[in-house]
Amino acid sequence: MIDSFYIAWKYLAFSKARSVTLVACITLIAVLPLALEIILDESEHQLVERAEHTPLLVGARGSALDLVMNSLYFADEVPGRISLASADAITATDLAFAIPLYVRFRARGFPIVGTTLDYFDFRRLRLAAGTPFGLLGECVIGASVASELGLQPGDSLLSSPETVFDLAGVYPLKMRVAGVLAPTHSADDLAVLVDVKTAWVIEGLVHGHEDVARSRDSSVIIERSESNVIANAKLMQYTEITEANIEAFHLHGDPTGYPLTAVIALPHDDKAAAILRGRYQNTDSGYQIVPPADVIDTLMTNIFRIRNVLDAVILFVGLATLMALVLVFALSLRLRQREIDTIFRLGCSRLTIAQLLGAEIVIIAAFSAVLCLLILAVVAHYDQQLVRALFI
Amino acid sequence: MISIESLHFAYPQDGFSLQIPAFSVPTGQKLAVIGPSGSGKTTLLNLVAGIYPPDSGQIQVAGVQLNALADAARRDFRITQIGFVFQDFELLDYLSVLDNILHPYRITRALKLTPGVDRRARELAEQMGIGDKLQRHAGDLSQGEKQRAAICRALLPQPKLILADEATGNLDPDNKLHILDLLFEAVDQQGATLLAVTHDHELLPRFGRVVDFNDFRSGSAV
């Protein structure tokens, strides 16, 4: 009987540091390109699929990439603002249907997407629980938001203040979770969807506060006349919209001038799309209209250029590491020459000695493969989040 | 047990050569071979073990002509019929004492590792006074304990011939006499033959026969 694996295992267990180093090196060589492949595939999938399903985006003139990344993947970089009137203008052309987007605020790190219920139909979003947002201050959260924050319909979620030190800035709004989306494996899983008016509440454009006409607190009222009351910043602002105070919420000024970050334009047909694009060609308009697929195509070209460079780097590093491993095994053979001579003298064949050393390599390779698969499973499980962290 | 006729062997590298016209060792004999360093004592052991094939002449061990055997058969013969005890013990530090004793059974198909063999290994270790150290790593043993483990390894397959190469060379005076006694006792129990190479003249009276390596050249060692 030849117990190559038993003897090899004993040797590897005895030389723990060497064995662990070898397993780590081999795992790294294998994991790096494979994990990169998974992440790049996922990024390609996420970016391209969503872009291809979004015909046109209208936004403020500036970086087309920022506009697309913010509107499709809710990236942190906020593009220039356009007004609600621009959405109305698109609808008025009768060339396309317009869905407004206001993606500026965050709630516990997740993007708050101010939009309309049309967005649900457009993205084919299904609710796993609860109802769509119906009232001001309600939100529908993505599947990943729900699982990561442990929220369900009826729970509350606070929007994040923009800056802690700006006392006159955006106050957190306590939003009621009306529904939870079924998983979509897209950026919507990580979004907090609200009515665009709720986003304006967060910005303070639509707000609710105690009735200044009834207030008798002299430290709040600056000036009072028969037709007008002027109060100072001490006036209590509502940070939660309830049945009791919803009537107190109101807007100031013309709502058509209220901000959006983008408008998703859904042309009725190709001809309508071409005409619509033509109307935004004027560089003085302050607007741009972009097909997201074209923008993402350019981005993917750059990513794949980086991918080729990375592949080459990994190949060289892998080759260097493999050579180092061969050297380690060769040095190990020299160090163990006496042991090899002894077992040869005892009556062992050279083939058996090779078998013993081969068993060590097989065990190391098996451990590396298992570790590699585990890491790849983790990468595959968190690929969406990784893609968002790395690319979006 | 051992019969050598007209043996000639030369190392191709340095030209050192060994010639033994005739030499024999009867079964059960405990023979010591002495001689100056570099005279070829270890080479003789390697020839008798079939590790080196002779350039000419014949070597028979237990009636088997070694140089007539194929490589694989010679290796199987060596691991089953010949036990080796080395000066530096040559135990594997990463194995336990028990695994070291059982090691020959794990590196060849010619020996079968059965529960009976495992039991015999434990008994042998007990007999050698290392029964309580079977689970320790070989590197943790004292010199004397290491050599006892090495003797157990050599004796476990119940070989007909034990080859000892300076087996007590690394031991202190008390230990070497005791280890030699243990080796003799085990050899007697198994009815084996012992061919030991040594520098230590103090040990020679204990052997049944002593051959000076210089006698080979004169032909008087027969």
Q: Which residue is it, tokens 């009306």?
A: A178
Q: Is A7 on the interface with B (CB under 8 A)?
A: yes
Q: Is A352 on the interface with B (CB under 8 A)?
A: yes
> Would you call A377 exposed, middle or buried from its count of C-beta atoms within 10 A (0-12, 13-18, 19+)?
exposed
Q: Which of A219, A323, A205, A214 is nearest to A256 (CA)?
A: A205
Please, what sign has the CA dihedral across residues A208, A211, A216, A218?
positive
Q: Do the chains contact at B107 and A338, CB–CB below 8 Å? A: no
> Would you call A247 exposed, middle or buried from its count of C-beta atoms within 10 A (0-12, 13-18, 19+)?
exposed
Q: Is A2 on the interface with B (CB under 8 A)?
A: yes
Q: What is the mean pLDDT of residues B1-7?
A: 87
Q: Which of A141, A150, A158 is nearest to A193 (CA)?
A: A141
Closest partner CB to A347 (pick from B86, B94, B108):
B108
A&B contacts, CB < 8 Å: 66
- Does B158 score more than 70 pLDDT? yes
pLDDT value for A72? 94
Beta-carbon count within 10 A of A389 CB: 10
pLDDT value for A126? 96
Evaluate whether B155 touches B167 at the Cβ level (below 8 Å): no
Q: Is A17 on the interface with B (CB under 8 A)?
A: no
Q: Which of A204, A260, A200 is nearest to A80 (CA)?
A: A260
Q: Is B140 on the interface with A (CB under 8 A)?
A: no
Mean model confidence pLDDT for chain A? 87
Q: Which residues in chain B have their CB less than 8 angstroms from residue A360's CB? A: none
Q: How far is CA A373 from CA A240, A358, B112, B147, in A?
A: 47, 22, 37, 46
Instruction: Please state whether beta strands A174-181 and A249-251 pair in parallel, antiparallel, or not at all (unpaired).
Output: unpaired
> Would you call B19 exposed, middle or buried from its count of C-beta atoms within 10 A (0-12, 13-18, 19+)?
middle
How many Å apart are CA A218 and CA A225, to the nearest integer? 14
Q: Do the chains contact at B76 and A1, CB–CB below 8 Å? A: no
Q: Do the chains contact at A346 and B104, CB–CB below 8 Å? A: yes
- Does B118 score more than 80 pLDDT? yes
Q: Which of A345, A350, A351 to mutate to test the interface with B (most CBs of B within 10 A)?
A: A345
Partner residues linked to B176 by β-bridges: none
How many Å apart are CA A104 and CA A97, to the nearest integer? 23
* CA A276 to chain centroid: 30
How many Å apart are CA A343 and CA B91, to the nearest integer? 10
Q: What is the pLDDT of residues A363-382, one digit of tens each?
A: 999 999 999 999 999 999 98
Q: Which residues in chain B have their CB less than 8 angstroms from residue A10's CB? A: 94-95, 99
Q: Is A6 on the interface with B (CB under 8 A)?
A: yes
Q: How far is A29 from chain B, CA to nearest CA, in Å?
A: 28
How many Å apart are CA A137 and CA A269, to the nearest integer? 36
Confidence band for A71, pLDDT divided at 50, 70 and 90: very high
How many Å apart are CA A186 and CA A52, to the nearest integer? 13
Q: Is B204 on the interface with A (CB under 8 A)?
A: no
Rg from Cα positions in chain A: 30
Closest partner CB to A347 (pick from B75, B86, B94):
B75
Evaluate whether A208 touches A238 at the Cβ level (below 8 Å): yes
Partner residues linked to B23 by β-bridges: B4
Q: How far is B90 from chain A, CA to nearest CA, in Å?
A: 7
Confidence band for A82, pLDDT divided at 50, 70 and 90: very high
SS3 of residue B129 by DSSP: coil
Q: Do the chains contact at A342 and B90, CB–CB below 8 Å? A: yes
Q: Do the chains contact at A14 and B137, CB–CB below 8 Å? A: yes
Least confident of A277-286, B116-125, B196-205: A277-286
Q: Which of A86, A95, A99, A90 is nearest to A53 (CA)?
A: A99
Evaluate whether B154 touches B85 at the Cβ level (below 8 Å): yes
Q: What is the pLDDT of residues B131-153, one digit of tens each?
A: 999 999 998 998 888 988 998 99
Q: Do the chains contact at A2 and B86, CB–CB below 8 Å? A: no
Instruction: Quote the Cα angle for A139-A141-A143, to 5°.
Output: 165
Q: Which of A242-251, A262-271, B192-201 has the highest mean pLDDT?
A: A262-271
Phi-psi region of B215 (alpha: psi -120 to 50; beta: other; left: phi over 0): alpha
Segment (H or E) for B122:
helix B115-127
Q: Do the chains contact at B104 and A352, CB–CB below 8 Å? A: no
Confidence band for A321, pLDDT divided at 50, 70 and 90: confident
How many Å apart are CA A226 and CA A246, to the nearest integer? 26
Please, what sign has the CA dihedral across residues B213, B216, B218, B222?
positive
Six-digit token string for A360: 């060590």
Q: What is the pLDDT of residues A128-169, one digit of tens each?
A: 999 999 888 899 999 999 999 999 999 999 998 766 565 556
- Does A327 score more than 90 pLDDT? no
Proportion of chain A above pLDDT 70, given as a percent? 92
How many Å apart are CA A29 and CA B204, to the nearest integer? 61
Q: Do the chains contact at A2 and B107, CB–CB below 8 Å? A: yes
Mean model confidence pLDDT for chain B? 87
Looking from the CA of A36 toward its CB, the CA atoms found within 13 Å total 18
Q: Which of A211, A206, A214 is nearest to A249 (CA)?
A: A206
Q: Do the chains contact at A11 and B112, CB–CB below 8 Å? A: no
Q: Do the chains contact at A346 and B111, CB–CB below 8 Å? A: no
At residue A339, what are phi and psi to the nearest 5 degrees? Answer: -60, -40
Closest partner CB to B107 (pick from A10, A14, A343):
A343
Closest partner CB to A11 (pick from B90, B94, B112):
B94
Q: Which of B92, B107, B111 to mutate to test the interface with A (most CBs of A within 10 A)?
A: B107
Confidence band for B169, pLDDT divided at 50, 70 and 90: confident
Least confident of A105-109, A268-272, A317-321: A317-321
Q: Is B89 on the interface with A (CB under 8 A)?
A: no
* Angle of the A84-93 helix axis to the A270-279 helix axis, nearest 10: 130
Q: How far is CA A321 from CA A318, A357, A365, in A?
A: 5, 20, 14
pLDDT value for A157? 93
Q: What is the pLDDT of residues A92-128, one digit of tens each?
A: 999 999 999 999 999 999 999 999 999 999 999 999 9
pLDDT value for A253? 76
pLDDT value for B190? 84
Q: What is the pLDDT of residues B41-52, one digit of tens each?
A: 888 888 998 888
Q: Which residues in chain A have their CB less than 8 angstroms from residue B108's CB? A: 2, 347-348, 352
pLDDT value for A263? 96
SS3 of residue B108 by DSSP: coil
Q: Which residues in chain A have their CB less than 8 angstroms from residue B94's CB? A: 10-11, 13-15
Which residues 6+ apart lie within 8 Å of B214 measured at CB? B35, B39
How many Å apart are CA A239 and CA A237, to the nearest integer? 6
pLDDT value for A236? 66
Q: Which of A117, A21, A57, A59 is nearest to A291 (CA)?
A: A57
pLDDT value for B42? 86
How many Å apart are CA B96 and CA B93, to the nearest integer? 8
Q: Is A1 on the interface with B (CB under 8 A)?
A: yes
Q: Is A248 on the interface with B (CB under 8 A)?
A: no
